[in-house]
Amino acid sequence: KQEVTQIPAALSVPEGENLVLNCSFTDSAIYNLQWFRQDPGKGLTSLLLIQSSQREQTSGRLNASLDKSSGRSTLYIAASQPGDSATYLCAVDGATNKLIFGTGTLLAVQP
Amino acid sequence: DTGVSQDPRHKITKRGQNVTFRCDPISEHNRLYWYRQTLGQGPEFLTYFQNEAQLEKSRLLSDRFSAERPKGSFSTLEIQRTEQGDSAMYLCASSLDVSPLHFGNGTRLTVT
């Protein structure tokens, strides 16, 4: 059974810092991995999707990497801003779009 | 593209009552998903439709839960005889085949 773990559960950083969020999964037979952002009381916004054949994806200040063999992904946020404060969720997909989510990392960027 | 729309945004109900939620997916999307998210947890898969056919249901979806997508467009999720443990955010998402999911803002259910 696929399990997804995210570390740390919460993170507080001063504005301008670069930071890394971690995601690990137990079954390497995945179709893709996605990172989402969730603001309080809201739905999920897709940030980056990495296909199983890819090693990384970049969008603006965000970079996500995938190491399928070790069951790990990282989300790197450069030059963090207070507007980045949110919960970040990673999810793996076994090719049915039945995503398995981690419990998220709650990020607070202090001005 | 107006995004995935869910109604209502919030629902407060007493234990034992029935509730129904609606989801309107992005118009050209053929797949529609329901997830449930409790406080401090990631979303958990409940069920999904391809067009009007319900193709998979999670074991989380007890007999009190039923979902429909009668014309392959909008979907409804009904919970009968609600229990306090049903309190959660119910999220709907849609996709075109296996393209990335687009999520709605969810319906927050509180059972008192």
Q: Under a CB-based contact definition with an 8 Å cutoff, are residues B29 and A83 in contact?
A: no
Q: What is the pLDDT along chain B (112 residues), one digit of tens a residue?
A: 579 999 999 999 999 999 999 999 999 999 999 999 999 899 999 999 999 999 989 988 889 999 999 988 999 999 999 999 999 999 999 999 877 889 999 999 999 9
Give the dihedral sign, CA B96/B101/B105/B108.
positive
Chain A residue whose CA is closest to B94: A97
Q: What are phi and psi of A74, to 5 degrees?
A: -125, 150
- Interatomic CA distance for residues B9 and B25, integer angstroms: 15
Tokens at A47, concatenated? 């940030």
A20 in reach of chain B (CB within 8 A):
no
**Nearest by CB: A44 against B6, B48, B103:** B103
Amino acid at A46: S
CB of A61 within 8 Å of a chain B CB? The answer is no
User: Given a cut of 80, is residue A97 above it in pLDDT?
Assistant: no
* Mutation site, A33, A52, A93, A99, interface B, largest B CB count within 10 A: A99
Candidate from A31, A98, A101 with C-beta closest to B42 = A101
What's at A96, amino acid-wise? T
User: What letter represents residue B110's amino acid?
Assistant: T
Which residue reads 């009190």 in tokens?
Answer: B64
> What is the average pLDDT across A60-72?
96
Q: How many beta-carbon pairs below 8 A join chains A and B?
A: 55
Inter-chain CB proximity A101 and B95 less than 8 Å: no
If 0-12 CB within 10 Å is exposed, 13-18 middle and 19+ buried, where does residue A110 land?
A: exposed
DSSP collapsed to 3 states, chain B: CCCCEEECCEEEECCCCCEEEEEECCCCCCEEEEEEECCCCCCEEEEEEECCEEEEECCCCCCCEEEECCCCCCEEEEECCCCHHHCEEEEEEEECCCCCCEECCCEEEEEC
Q: What is the mean pLDDT of residues A24-48?
A: 93
Assess A65–B contact: CB distance below 8 Å, yes or no: no
Shortest Cα distance from B98 to chain A (angstroms)? 6
Q: Touching check for B25 and chain A: CB below 8 Å?
A: no
